[in-house]
Structure 1
Amino acid sequence: MNISNVLNIKNIKLNMTAKTKEEAIEELADLLVLDGAVTHKDVFLKDVWLREEQGSTGFENHIAIPHGKSAGVAHTALAIGRTQHQIPWETMDGSDVRCVILFAVCLVDQNATHIRLLSQVSGSLADEEIIEKLLKENDPQKIIDLLLPQDEGINA
């Protein structure tokens, strides 16, 4: 399973209104509910916050990757949101967040699939050029393409 199996353009919101970490996670969870990936939003959000208590999911370079493994998730999916303003978040480099990648993981995928997807996204985010494009790109399909492993991208 790769990013193109769990992320579609309906779950990318490039003009989030959220001003806080809580609002950002809620706003992206709403996209996943509309898409049918999350069937019990309250259960899913509880699991996201339980995970967040274990350690912040703030990455670096204005990116956060909150995630929840939950019985409230019907099928594993991602949602990506971006703001024009910065959201306070505990990150590895102390930067505020402008892009949030929310993972909703169904229990059947909680081990191997979850780790593989997280690894794919983290691998993409290790490239500063990809991060720069992720923070500026306005075409949702191109954002999906940025997160695909290089050998599966459009230019392969």
Structure 2
Amino acid sequence: MKLGRLNHIGVATPSIADSIVHYRETMGATKIHESFDLEAQGVKVCFVDTPGQNGTEGTQIELIEPLGPGSPLANFLEKNPAGGQHHICFEVEDIEDARKWFEEQGKRILGTTRIGAHGTPIFFLHPKDMMGQLTEIMETPKEGAHWSN
């Protein structure tokens, strides 16, 4: 398995609308995608693009807000009411090869492989097995498959 680029950093927020204002006014963000509900995961999502260098695609910030009190994100926000960094996401060429790789190392995978916010397969690795960081592994989007709005 070969680790790919850092695709995004997930930031939990009690309000995507307020977070958009912060990224636009405080951080100077100019490309903010339309938010959408990812009901299968119980969250609302909004991507903020950061510029890359030399014509490359930058890393995104994934703003995530719970859709309701039953959302898996609700517990995180109870402990961190202002929100904060929730996870990091790395791309891999083949999601099944990556899953096998991590399983063979004894890393705990949280749940099944499912379709994430970019429309590609993902899974999460337990923070205790990843230096304290919830880690999302995402199959690199194929040409034209990258989510954008």
Please report the TM-score for the alignment, with normalisation by the length of structure 2. Answer: 0.35
**Rg comparison, structure with higher value:** 2
Greater per-residue strand proportion: 2
